[in-house]
Amino acid sequence: MWMDKKQKLKASYYNSFFALIVIPILFIILISILIIRTMMVDSAVSNIRRAQDNIASVLGGEVKDVSLRLSHFVYVNDNEVIKNAAKTNIKDVAEKYRYTKILTESFHYAMVPVQDILSAIFYMKDGDHTYMKDDITLGREELKASSWYQEALAEPNVVKVGFYDRSVTNSRKNAYTLTIAAGLSPGMDVDRDGVIEMAALFVSSQTGSLIKDYNKERILGSTLIADKSGNVIFDAEGTLALLPRDIPLEQPKFRYQVNGKRYMGVVTEEPVTGLKIISIVAYETLTRSFNRTAAVIVAVTLILFVLFYRFSSYFLKSIIEPIHNTVEGMKMVEEGNLQVHVEPNGQAELRLMIHSFNRMTRRLKQLMQENEEQQQKKHEAEIRALQSQINPHFLVNSLNSIRFIAQMSKYESIARMAEALIKILSCSFRSNVGFYTVKEELEVLDSYIYLMKIRYSDGFEIEYNVEESCLSCLVPRLILQPVVENSIVHGFSGLMDEMGKIRLAVREADGFLSIEIRDNGKGMSKEEIRRILAGEEKKDEQKDHVSIGIINVKTRLVLNYGISCEFEMESEEGRFTRTSIRLPIRRKEPESI
């Protein structure tokens, strides 16, 4: 029977242990792991976006630069370059060579030798062309079919830009890179001879090299560039093969699965050209660091549970089981069985208690045997007296053991929080006291501030400016806490870098007590203030706790003071909220001696 009860006690203990400790801890760890996972993935995506922004910045700067270079080259010195280029379109070889040389010198003077310029070419309407620096490998028909070429023809005197995912010259140095092509078709006001069809400038972009460098960092994924229609214009590592058939370019971030492997795509638009910079990264790469972190958390959790189990085993063996055995022995003694002997084990105090119990039972048995025949009634009274001493003696020893264990676990912060909460609740439930002094009201507010600072991890601070003479003034209890709560819960929500600050000022003026509470929170619109003070509910929503508190304060002020009090709220969105309270002064009467 004892073994069955011991098993039930252990089962009850372990059930409580799992329900109150293991399951909540597992739930908290699971939520924490999910939050950490989300934060780490978001951090990785932020790094990808920073890399894409850098690529977009470089690409946009290069496009602007090549456009300015071409415009400067064409229009410099009253279109002198265009005039010289038109003169190269002649059959006389000597004259053509002479004007080509002049044109080349103008090119070098206007451009200032730059390594990224591959070639500059003037295409004539009769099919001829004149080039400076290296000749290009693209055919005339391929060039004319290009979208940038056709757009430039359609809008004379306007620079249009195109891209090639390779070098357009025979130079090996610029092979497998991104080339920017800029074209300008001169109008009749620029090319008065009507000879030149297109002035084109080809530049090697540093964006391709930058993308290749970023692709080496696997956490940044593999990057390609596509136009507005989704056509890929630069793909250094065959990233297109990893993309779905229909690329969702309108989404800044998308997820998909290919061959059982999960991927994430991040899209950034370059504002100058409208090109889309697309980075593809495997989900396992994003979560690799998280998996290591999660493994450490799981390992630490298992170690903690093993320690908890060892502690539970020790607790059961050294405290619970001795107490349980002693209780069972007491029950048997109460039933008249004085043959009970409880094996002493566990903590020293518990062993001492068990020894005392065993000595007591032996003494009871001895007294009963000596006086059984002559003093049966007296013996029975003595037995009852001794039995009545067992419970308090046992309880004192048991409580001393429990007190010793509690003293070993120091919970000062929990005691401080409980004290603060007790002070607030005591104030709330003292229905026979309607008014507090300002000093007492500030003490209650301090307790509330202490709890809120723990909840919001010291994310705000409060400054008091209270005149000494105001501390004895009476105010309706709990009129400051709801207003301060509005500043903390509503005003500081979403406040990122700036520390939340509350300033509470109390002063006397012309027989009135003036209270002002100001915060640097996100503020409210005039419509929100009107709705709160009028007690109106939002559509399809219930009033929140803070709104109810503000309405409650205003209502109690009116009931206590009538029209002689004032309650005003002023706010500016993004800057502050100020609440002003003005009451007739009442002071606490001195207690009679």
From the first residue on, what is the mean pLDDT of each consecutive set of 10 residues in the chain (593 residues)? 58 75 83 83 85 88 86 78 78 76 73 68 84 78 86 89 79 67 86 84 85 83 82 79 74 81 86 85 78 82 82 70 72 72 71 77 76 53 36 37 41 50 54 75 85 78 90 88 85 76 91 92 86 68 60 84 90 89 85 53
Specify the pLDDT at position 508: 92
Q: Among all chains, which residue has been given the structure tokens 């103008």?
A: 106
Q: DSSP state, 312?
A: H
Phi, psi (deg, nearest 5) at residue 489: -75, -45
Kindly provide the b/e burial profile for residues 508-546, where b requires at least 16 CB atoms within 10 angstroms of the residue's own CB.
eeeeebbbbbbbbbbbbeeebbebbeeeeeeeeeebeeb
**CATH for 415-584?**
3.30.565.10
Largest CA distance in the chain: 155
Place of tokens 């009274």: 381
Strands 460-466 and 500-509 turn out to be: parallel
Whether the CB-CB separation of 490 and 556 falls below 8 Å is answered with no
Beta strand segments in 125-271, E: 129-133, 160-164, 178-184, 196-205, 222-226, 232-235, 253-258, 261-269
Locate the domains of the chain by residue range.
1-286, 313-408, 415-584
Sheet of 196-205: strand order equals 129-133, 117-124, 196-205, 178-184, 160-164
pLDDT at 88: 79
Question: Given the DSSP bridges, would you call strands 261-269 and 276-282 parallel, antiparallel or unpaired?
Answer: antiparallel
pLDDT at 566: 92
pLDDT of residue 280: 85
What pLDDT sits at residue 540? 45
- The confidence score (pLDDT) of residue 157 equals 87
Q: From 279, 285, 387, select the one nearest 340 (Cα to Cα).
A: 387
Q: Residue 396's pLDDT is what?
A: 35
pLDDT at 427: 55
Closest CA to 180 of 59, 84, 303, 275: 59
Q: What is the pLDDT of residue 262?
A: 85
Torsion angle of the four alpha carbons 444, 447, 448, 451, in this order, in degrees rounded to the nearest 10: -170
Rounded CA gap, 278 and 262, in Å?
A: 16
Residue 504: predicted pLDDT:
93
Give the whole-angstrom CA distance, residue 194 versus residue 368: 137
CA 343 remoteness from chain centre: 57
